[in-house]
Copies of this chain bind each other. A is one copy, B any other.
Amino acid sequence: MGKILTFGEIIMRLSPPGNRTMKQSHEMEFFFGGTELNVASSLAIMGCEVKHVSSVSDDFVGESALSFVKSVGIDTNFISKNEHPLGLYFLEVGSAVRASRIAYNRLNGSFANIQPEEIDWEQALEGCDYFHWTGISPGISEAAYEALKKGLEIAREMGIEITTDPAYRSNLWKYGKKGNEVLKELVSLSTIFIGGTNEINEILGTQFSSDKDGFMEACEELKKQCPSIHKIFDKIRIGVTASSQQTQGRALVNGNYFETELLEVNPVVDRIGTGDAFAAGLIYGLQNFNDEKALNFANAACAIKHTILGDINYSSAEDILEVMGGNSGGRIKR
């Protein structure tokens, strides 16, 4: 299997147990994650060689984060340390008609203060087949943006496949740059786009609709404006309630449109990181299957992640293939 490099924040999630609100709690469960690390972890658990580039706090919190990253088998040699605290967020988990809530503490953390000039991208990218990034990282700080941009440029020169999930988040982008402009610049350095009408509209300032025709037109426009993009894969999530979700994938590759079945998950154990599970499933699938099967695999990975606590998809490729094959979980595996 191929080697993958990911770049992004290692963030700590803190949440009261079960569906409790914070006011009702004296303790919090914690997990390490971060959108790109989630992709990295899922790929490593499925057996890929993965390097993650990041920066953590130089204290016992950062040490614990590194210990976690090692535990899933990711190469941590390109994770630096600095004196800023590890980024974190608080999560109150909703249920049924009550939405989950997140409160962030990340804009002045160790990743936001990464030193772009200290990353040896050539060495980090050596031997890599894929570089995965998301729209979160360049929204955190100028330093993160610059580090990422430099990495993408070098990866591009090295002919590495670059996948991106360019989600725009309005609670980022506080440091002065405009999200849509930066994202368009960085997508233009990438080759595989994981996103749909919403993401394209945000980046290009267009107003395509979400239906199939709108999606196809949006894809064509994206490829016109960012010609390095040669494949587009989209995940559709229908959030029935906080406890019941449906997932579906669709894609436009070489002018061909295809889509997956709708998978239903009820009850949802954890909604965080389900998009990252999709991305990891896709990257795994592209290396092992044809594009259509890769999309189905990605969609099944997204579905099964909804049943796993925390940010990470702990499923093996076999687990995901079973969900893809329609095994609904009703029998115990002894």
Scoring A residues 119 to 140 as 1 if CB is less than 8 Å from chain B, else 0, what string do you get? 0000000000000000000000
Of the listed stretches A46-54, A60-68, A227-235, name the one at the interface; the rest are far from the partner chain: A60-68
- Determine if A92 is an interface residue (Cβ-Cβ < 8 Å): yes
Question: Across the interface, do A94 and B329 meet the contact criterion of CB distance under 8 Å?
Answer: yes
Of the listed stretches A19-27, A190-198, A211-219, A287-295, name the one at the interface; the rest are far from the partner chain: A19-27
* A302, chain B: closest CB distance, angstroms: 11
Of the listed stretches A98-106, A158-166, A199-207, name the one at the interface; the rest are far from the partner chain: A98-106
Can you list 6 pairs linking A and B with CB atoms under 8 Å apart? A22-B60, A26-B30, A27-B29, A85-B104, A99-B331, A107-B108
Chain B residues positioned under 8 Å from A238 (CB to CB): 330
Question: Across the interface, do B99 and A19 meet the contact criterion of CB distance under 8 Å?
Answer: no
* A128, chain B: closest CB distance, angstroms: 21
* A41, chain B: closest CB distance, angstroms: 11
A94 to B306, CA, bound (A): 11
Task: Give A contacts to B, CB under 8 Å.
Answer: 14, 17-31, 57, 59-61, 63-64, 67-68, 70-73, 85-86, 88, 90, 92, 94-105, 107-109, 169, 171, 238-245, 263, 265-269, 271-272, 303-304, 306-310, 314-315, 319, 322-323, 327-334
Question: Across the interface, do B171 and A241 meet the contact criterion of CB distance under 8 Å?
Answer: no
* A14, chain B: closest CB distance, angstroms: 7
Question: Across the interface, do B90 and A23 meet the contact criterion of CB distance under 8 Å?
Answer: no
Question: Across the interface, do B97 and A328 meet the contact criterion of CB distance under 8 Å?
Answer: yes
Question: Across the interface, do B25 and A329 meet the contact criterion of CB distance under 8 Å?
Answer: no
Contact of A27 among B27, B70, B73, B310 (CB under 8 A): B27
| Extra contacts besides A20-B309, A23-B67, A70-B72 (11): CB < 8 Å | A22-B61, A24-B310, A70-B71, A70-B73, A86-B105, A94-B307, A98-B308, A98-B319, A98-B329, A99-B327, A100-B329
Contact of A334 among B68, B171, B268 (CB under 8 A): B171
Question: Across the interface, do A328 and B19 meet the contact criterion of CB distance under 8 Å?
Answer: no
Which of A86, A105, A109, A315 gathers the greatest number of chain B CB atoms within 10 Å? Answer: A105
Copies per complex of this chain = 6
Given contacts A263-B97, A267-B267, contact A240 B333 (CB under 8 A): no
Chain B residues positioned under 8 Å from A101 (CB to CB): 59-60, 332-334
Which of A27, A28, A60 gathers the greatest number of chain B CB atoms within 10 Å? Answer: A60
* A173, chain B: closest CB distance, angstroms: 13
Contact of A242 among B17, B94, B241, B329 (CB under 8 A): B329
Given contacts A269-B95, A327-B99, contact A23 B243 (CB under 8 A): no
A292 to B213, CA, bound (A): 42
Question: Across the interface, do B100 and A24 meet the contact criterion of CB distance under 8 Å?
Answer: no
* A133, chain B: closest CB distance, angstroms: 20
Chain B residues positioned under 8 Å from A169 (CB to CB): 334
